[in-house]
Chain A
């Protein structure tokens, strides 16, 4: 199967870099950035299958990033990542078209299953 092109957005460097390295070992084509702005700029130039975005980030937060990315690349599937479970932000993200939501501390297998499902969903929608 083709490698999933994933964009990982989280301001917490340690977490993001470790996760990105582990995902690379699992044959995911990961690009990781530390802010919503960087993510939005990148999405203007490059196409991704799935984005994993942390809800809480300084500056442009996860929800705003989700909104803008969905405008730029509507078929990109988005999985939100959150350290602080909240119905409100969950609702908001799902309404804005997020595919799923993963709670930290996240199990890498769970994240892979959810992003894998999101990827399949995207493939089918595209056809």
Chain B
């Protein structure tokens, strides 16, 4: 009993008297239960942190979409789990590692700092007159208005008078309503793939902003700026209000049509329209665009440009270069009657003019559409559709002289800004031009430009339609899905071709799921077209007849480059299609994740016997959990050196198997009434999970290592010499021992065979929700390729048995949870078999053909004692 007494003295050493009174069976049981509970909690938290890290590394290197809330939620979960791990370790070890929380508290604030929003050094003015704006002021007024101020004040082209409601105003508004936390909270509830939820959240947030009060000082400043504008004009006027977001010009991104513009606004509606534009930061396409492109939500700040309204006779958009082909030296103009808005939102088929860049007087191409309607300013406010007079509908919206004038404007702007421009323009009824916007044009990279040069191959499929305009080059094939309403949008299947009448900007939210776009109306300069180019989604617009001839579910191939849609899959064309690349790489969110991972993922403490294996040696989160895990095992196993763990709890299993199996009873795992020093036999075990696992381990006798070829042998030598830290766990001291930690409903097996390290853990009880099995497997002595093949083999088998499996380099994680005990039992036997029989398979994995052979062999063996799922 000496050991036990020592243990309790240690446990309660600050109150020795109590010890004497309380050393009862009950107390002993409680002490062990406590230890067991802490150990169980520590192990499961450890497992969860490893999974969270793997998940983040996976997101960083993969092509999936994630937002800041993913990073924030994972980091928060990790920090909570680490606290739990440290608390448990300190309870197990009686506060031996008091310095660990301090180590953690050195790392966490660094991570937190990476997650914080950038602080702005913007000016204090809430409102800024456009006369004083130039391109250096993007931080105060947003990129769009900074460029427009530059056009007005430094290029000297005609731009209406106006003012900008600044970034400081936005901060003031958000601060006043205390909106940020509430918005972040709602965003956290968002699941990227759930478009119905996206709609719900978007409308909730927009509603929140629109109903929030506008601070008095801001309202006064806006009204005053408007009154000043009116005084200057000398007459009553209305304004156009356009979003000019800040923080979106950090990389190649168009943000085309993501935010709202409100035209022809009266004084009465100024504040409401301002709020509407702020709210449009959370429109469905805007939220989904940011998510897909990796923009940090909090970095986007909405400024709003207010300019006296131009009542256009004709309007439109022009590009100073061909966005699909930089080598094509031309200027592209789309024009309509009335306001140019119908060009960008794709609701009308515009006239198309292509001008020579050498001499804009030369018109290379002219396609005049029938324009029966136009958008005009309403009399009191707002805009409305009006019929175009009969004689005008077939006429070009602008004259040849006007196209030349526009061409010259385009060249001037491209020269001034030093890059191709996307320009919105209008002609007033008196014939004078006015520039509404000029921003950098998104031009496709070289690899995509190359698609436009694909020689036409012969396609042996029925042609559904030809014609239309290549808005984004490329080829795609899949089932068609026709979208007419928002409800259709909710039903849009991933991997379908989006077919729609009008290329409305709101359909942009579908471009992450759509593989191609075909529209009846619209032109190359529309917003949806711009986003399609950005997302590398082939798009053919303005085909006139797509929605008539293509039906839901039709398998079609859209050759956007060649302007043709085929029935069926045109394999010969698809071979040339360029793979979709990740949109996240290089984005602010992606970079943030990379920065955060530097504090989390690297493992420096690879050698538990090294001198830096101390709390002070922990430099990352991974180091801390590695340290805590190792030390917690040592604390449990250190029964010889430290009397805090009574001897009778860890004993060798007496068994006719040529390996060492040690048992630690955490409580209720062995028959009651066993005396100290009694040998443990299988009959003494009462732990249901352990007995189940043991069945799997012993079902098929181990034949010894499989015969290896010489290459396999050298590969083992190679692995062993190359990497001394192959074994991540309890080296030397615990080598080649297998430890079971058991209780009635719980079993944890740490096993090490040479270079192979695996843990199996299982729990099942009264509540199905708490049941789980998890499995880690790593190491191996052969070279990377062979090890990877072996890991792949285990994955194949586990997935057949419904396990969730993840592989990170040669470490495999698998788990199953919330299943009935009967379901888990079968699968725990599978793990037992795999632990025994896959250990040295890495040596024989000389080619991938062997993988299938061994999978078959293992499944055949398994079928002897478990049911193989279909």
Contact B769 A85 (CB under 8 A): no
Majority secondary structure of chain B interface residues (helix, strand, loop or mixed): helix
CB pair A91 B108 closer than 8 Å: yes
Does B76 lie within 8 Å of A90, measured CB to CB? yes
Chain A residues within an 8 Å CB radius of B112: 86-88
A49-91 CB contacts (< 8 Å) to partner B: 56, 82-88, 90-91
Q: In this complex, what residue of B is CB-closest to A93?
A: B80
Which of B30, B83, B109 gathers the greatest number of chain A CB atoms within 10 Å? B83
Taking CB atoms, residues of chain A closer than 8 Å to B76 are 82, 85-87, 90, 101, 103
- CB of A121 closer than 8 Å to a CB of B: yes
B187-203 interface code vs A (CB 8 A; 1 in, 0 out)? 01100000000000000
The segment from B33-41, B169-177, B449-457, B525-533 found at the interface with A is B33-41
B818 interface residue per 8 A CB criterion: yes
Q: Is the CB of B185 within 8 A of A112?
A: no
The verdict on B587 contacting chain A, using a C-beta distance below 8 Å, is no
**With contact pairs A85-B72, A112-B769, A113-B769 given, residues A124 and B37 touching in the complex (Cβ less than 8 Å):** yes
Interface residues of B in 105-124 (CB under 8 A from A): 105, 108-109, 111-112, 115
Instruction: Scan residues 574-594 of chain B and give those whose CB is less than 8 A from a CB of chain A.
Output: none
Measured CB to CB, the nearest residue on chain A to B45 is A100
Q: Does A21 contact B (CB under 8 A)?
A: no
| B189 pairs with A109, CB closer than 8 A | no
Q: Are A113 and B770 in contact (CB under 8 A)?
A: yes
From known contacts A94-B83, A124-B33, infer whether A85 and B73 are also in contact, taking CB-CB under 8 Å. Answer: yes
Give min CB distance, B176 to chain A, whole Å. Answer: 16
How many interface residues does A have (CB within 8 Å)? 27
Considering only CB atoms and an 8 Å cut-off, how many residues of chain B contact the other chain? 33
Do the beta carbons of A91 and B37 come within 8 Å of each other? no
Q: Whole-angstrom distance from the CB of A115 to the nearest CB of chain B?
A: 12
Task: Enumerate B279-294 residues with CB–CB distance to A below 8 Å.
Answer: none
A-B pairs under 8 A by CB, number: 76
Q: Is the CB of B30 within 8 A of A127?
A: yes
Let me know if B37 and A121 touch, CB within 8 A. yes
- Asked if A24 lies at the interface with its beta carbon under 8 angstroms from chain B, I say no
The A-contacting residues of B in range 72-91, CB under 8 angstroms, are: 72-73, 75-77, 79-80, 83-84
Cross-chain contact A87 with B73 (CB below 8 angstroms) = no
Assess whether A104 is in contact with B769, with CB atoms less than 8 Å apart.
Answer: no
Asked if B261 is at the interface (CB within 8 A of a chain A CB), the reply is: no
Over the window 455-480 of chain B, the binary record of Cβ atoms lying under 8 Å from chain A Cβ atoms (1 yes, 0 no) is 00000000000000000000000000
Question: In the complex, how many angstroms separate the beta carbon of B18 from the nearest chain A beta carbon?
Answer: 12
Which of the residues A84, A90, A113, A127 comes within 8 Å of B185, measured between beta carbons? A84
Bound: A56/B101 CA distance, A: 25
Cβ–Cβ contact B30 & A124, under 8 A: yes
8 Å CB contact of B80 from A90, A104, A112, A127: A90
The closest CB in chain A to the CB of B71 belongs to A85
* A47 adjacent to chain B (CB < 8 Å): no
Chain A residues within an 8 Å CB radius of B72: 85-87
B69 CB-CB contact with A under 8 Å: yes
The yes or no answer to B95 lying at the interface (CB within 8 A) is no
Contact A101 B80 (CB under 8 A): yes
CB-nearest residue of chain A to B40:
A117
A103 to B188, Cβ gap below 8 A? Answer: yes
- Contact in complex: B818, A109 (CB < 8 Å): yes
B181 in contact (CB, < 8 A): yes
Question: Smallest CB-CB separation from B41: which chain A residue?
Answer: A117
Q: Contact between B34 and A124 (Cβ–Cβ < 8 Å)?
A: yes
Docked CA distance A113–B622 (Å):
25
In the assembled complex, how far is the CB of residue A40 from the closest CB belonging to chain B, in whole angstroms?
A: 23
Residues of A within 8 A of B77 (CB): 85, 101, 103
**Pairwise interchain contact B80-A94, C-beta atoms closer than 8 A:** yes
Q: Are A84 and B188 in contact (CB under 8 A)?
A: yes
Q: Is B37 in contact with A100, judged by CB distance below 8 angstroms? A: no
B312 to chain A, nearest CB (A): 45
**A56 touching B181, Cβ below 8 Å:** yes
* Bound-state Cα–Cα, A46 to B339, Å: 69
What residues on A are CB-neighbors of B770 within 8 Å? 113, 116
Q: Which residues of A from 91 to 127 have beta carbons under 8 Å from B? A: 91, 94-95, 100-101, 103-105, 109, 112-113, 116-117, 120-121, 124-125, 127
Provide the bound-state CA to CA distance between A86 and B80, in Å.
10
Known: A101-B76, A112-B769. A85 touches B30 (CB 8 A): no
Say how far A106's CB is from chain B's closest CB, in angstroms.
11
Please list 29 pairs of residues, one from A and one from B, whose beta carbons are closer than 8 Å in the complex, sorted by A's number: A56-B181, A83-B188, A84-B184, A84-B185, A85-B72, A85-B76, A87-B76, A87-B112, A90-B76, A90-B80, A90-B83, A91-B79, A94-B79, A94-B83, A101-B76, A101-B80, A103-B73, A103-B76, A104-B185, A109-B769, A112-B767, A113-B769, A116-B770, A117-B41, A121-B37, A124-B30, A124-B33, A124-B34, A127-B30
A-B residue pairs, 10 tightest by C-beta? A83-B185, A94-B83, A85-B76, A109-B769, A101-B80, A87-B112, A85-B73, A124-B34, A127-B30, A85-B72
Q: Other CB < 8 Å A-B pairs besides A100-B80, A113-B769, 12 of them? A: A56-B185, A85-B77, A86-B112, A88-B112, A90-B76, A91-B79, A101-B76, A101-B80, A109-B818, A112-B769, A124-B30, A127-B30
